[in-house]
Amino acid sequence: MKPALRNPDNILEVEGLVTRFRTETGTLTAVKGISFELKKGETLAIVGESGSGKSVTALSIINLIPNPPGEIAEGRIDFQSPATGWIDLARLRTDSLRRYRGKEISMIFQEPMTSLNPVFTCGFQVMKAILLHEKCDKATAKAKTIDLFNQVKLPRPEAIFDAYPHEISGGQKQRVMIAMAISCNPSILIADEPTTALDVTVQKTILELLQELQQRNGMAILFITHDLGVVSEIADRVLVMYKGNIVESGTVEDIFRKPQHPYTKGLLACRPRMDVRMKHLPVIADFMRESADGQFEEIEGSVEKIVASAVVSASEFDARQKTLQAQAPILEVRNLKTYFPQRRGFLGGVKTYVHAVDDVSFAVYPGETLGLVGESGCGKTTLGRSILRLVEPTSGEVFFEGKSITGMSQSELRLIRKDLQIIFQDPYSSLNPRITIGNAILEPMRVHGLHGNEKGRIEKTQELLQKVNLLPEHFGRYPHEFSGGQRQRACIARALAVEPKFIVCDESVSALDVSVQAQVLNLLVGLREEFGFTYIFISHDLSVVKFMSDRMVVMNKGKIEEIGLADDIYAHPQQEYTRKLIQAIPKGDLASIERATAARKASKSLSGQ
């Protein structure tokens, strides 16, 4: 191992880090001898797909690797503590690490709902962190907690102090986690996918908040993400990880202007484009191929050529819209309302209602994809479920192929269910962990008596697995044996099993890596063209909706803000709310990066960093 650098300008130096896990099939090396440094007051982003080793790297720094089965096998993790000076964290025992973990090096985890204890209030959990690391009484800790809630711009801090995690939104839970992470004024803040699955507007405010807190407190940030678009908004430097190795590093401008590694080129290219309409998104496999022995080679062809080959011309798009809208609608929604009781009086009568869907009307044409976009709480998911009567509407009508869904009895509705399917947001909870993937796909065919007999259903299941780019031998595997993207493909195969005509995709790619997201979106587009499916595609991400959709509905507070062709709404939004959604999308273009970099440098100069 090289001698320690211990540069006084650095707050962290990692040298030759190797992290391994023992599994039933052998030893898995998740991090393969990587080295990097984090400067004081700097934001360093580590980027890569799931399984690249980025989160394991972050967990290794504060030794949260479960042992067994994991271990930090080799390497040095040198931290310049303001209190004790340079220390190798990799050599510390757990009890010695506690003085640094949480106080001097803090972490925001990816999923705030599972990171916060559901049986304690938000305020109590932040207070506990303060009391653990600082010498103060409960009254002082409570006052500091409420001040932190103000710093992270939580509405009604006193009310959220007494609220339980399930009583606040995802963005608010993430702010509580940030408040907890900064409660002891750490020197390093590790943010592990802190904006994944958040609305673009909430994501933007979280990124701005982290930058503001960094300038105020002078902390360094290690930002873990799969999305290079987000990186362009916040980072000074970038490390790109692939299968446990750092394959490229440099400033944000260098990485975006002249990416050197084919993997980096693929990550940049597979994000949905806002400036052109595309038939399909580029994927990693368009830029590199990997051999059986783990070696890879770059595939010839520039990003520009790959993108140009997939662009849809304006005349092609116009012709498609004329063909679609010349047909009778397959679905009509008329004055649909779905209200939920919010407060009840002393005698049980309802005092107030939440107007989740409030007098919504639109039509969808056969073979069309209609996008529903808006922030969390706008009513888009409730609208999708109300159309399928997974949530009973309060009033209004829904017609499918001229028949009233809202007027059907449960037995009549059961007969039409095979034509109306839904792909849920979370593939983890959508699949029964005790049932193999094959049986999960086969079960709805059995319920509806499709494909003759059991042998025919098994053959159909294997065919569907191949259709969604899985293998027939995956039939007997359980959900936990697959990645998130593979589980989502299995959910798509299950929706296809009953040969539906209409599918609601409810945030079905929001938590996936951008590269896996591109594969799933391409799959959905390909299946639509092959089978003539009609989609309602629900998402908070306007760039994804624009790629998928022919027309777009923008929702806000249960109502439709505007509806029209997706390209027209993006190019010429009519409502301020829509403009706010579009402005919140990370652009990732060089002009935006240069502006963001200049702004960060100016802020650091003013703060004396």
DSSP track, 167-198: GS-HHHHHHHHHHHHHTT--SEEEEESTTTTS
Integer Cα distance of 537 and 544 in angstroms: 9
Q: Where are the alpha helices (DSSP H) in 505-564?
A: 514-531, 542-548
Per the structure block, which two tokens stand in for 319? Answer: 């012709």
The single residue listed with the structure tokens 């086969």 is 442
d(CA 159, CA 157): 5
Position 315 confidence tier, pLDDT thresholds 50, 70, 90? very high
pLDDT number for residue 347: 63
More confidently predicted of 606 and 21: 21
Query: How many other CB atoms sit within 10 Å of the CB of residue 20?
Result: 20
Cα three-residue angle 12-59-225, rounded to 5 degrees:
85
What average pLDDT score do residues 328-348 get?
A: 84
Residues 57 and 223: beta-carbon distance below 8 Å: no
Percentage above 70 pLDDT, the chain: 95
Q: Is 271 in contact with 515 (CB distance < 8 Å)?
A: no
Q: How does DSSP assign 332-365, residue by residue?
A: EEEEEEEEEEEEE-TTS-EEEEEEEEEEEEEEE-
User: Which among 11, 28, 22, 9 has a CA at the least distance from the CA of 89?
Assistant: 11
Angstrom distance (rounded) from CA 531 to CA 47: 36
Using DSSP, state whether 410 is helix, strand or coil. Answer: helix
Residue 362: strand pairing partners: 333
Name the token pair of 571. Answer: 């190019």
**Beta partners for 289?**
297
Residues 6+ apart with CB under 8 A from 497: 441, 442, 444, 445, 450, 460, 461, 464
DSSP states of 42-83: -EEEEE--TTSSHHHHHHHHTT---TTTEEEEEEEEEEEETT
d(CA 299, CA 288) in angstroms, rounded, equals: 5
Place of tokens 């650098």: 5
Average pLDDT (158-169) is 88
Q: In this predicted model, what pLDDT tens digit does every residue of 541-558 receive, in sequence order?
A: 888 999 999 999 999 999
Distance in angstroms (rounded) separating the CA atoms of residues 445 and 421: 13
Question: Which pLDDT score is estimated for 304?
Answer: 79
Cβ pair 230, 195 in contact under 8 A: yes
Distance between CA atoms of residues 31 and 588, nearest Å: 28
Average pLDDT over every residue of 206-222: 88
Q: Mean pLDDT in the chain?
A: 88
CA 521 to chain centre: 14
Phi/psi at 357 (5° precision):
-125, 125
* Residue with more model confidence, 272 or 304: 272
**84-88, 99-103, 554-558, range with the lowest pLDDT:** 99-103
Tokens 């209602």 belong to residue:
353
349: confidence class by pLDDT, cuts 50, 70, 90: low
* Helix/strand/coil for 39: strand
Residue 375 scores a pLDDT above 90? no
Which of 138-147, 191-200, 385-394 shows the lowest per-residue confidence on average (mean pLDDT)? 191-200
Structure tokens at 363: 């039509």
Percent of the chain with pLDDT over 90: 48
Question: Is residue 351 very low, low, confident or very high in pLDDT (cuts 50, 70, 90)?
Answer: low
Tell me the pLDDT tens digit for each residue of 389-431.
999 999 999 999 999 999 999 989 988 989 999 998 777 778 8
Q: Is the pLDDT of residue 466 over 80?
A: yes
Does the pLDDT at position 294 exceed 70?
Answer: no
Q: What's residue 350's pLDDT?
A: 62
pLDDT of residue 339: 93
Spatial neighbors of 335 by CB under 8 A, at least 6 apart, are: 359, 360, 361, 395, 396, 397
pLDDT of 22: 87
> Of 426 and 37, which is predicted with more confidence?
37
Number of helical (H) and strand (E) elements in the chain, helices listed first = 24, 22
The residue length of the chain stands at: 609
- Mean pLDDT over 258-282 rounds to 89
pLDDT exceeds 60 at position 3: no
Tokens 């888009």, located at residue = 380
Can you tell me the mean pLDDT for 249-264?
Answer: 91
Structure tokens at 98: 């506690």
Is the pLDDT at 346 greater than 70, yes or no? no
Q: Which one-letter DSSP state was computed for residue 166? A: G
Give mean pLDDT, residues 2-10: 80
pLDDT, tens only, 567-607: 999 999 999 999 998 888 887 777 777 777 777 777 666 66
What is this structure's pTM?
0.84
β-strands 551-556, 369-373 pairing: parallel
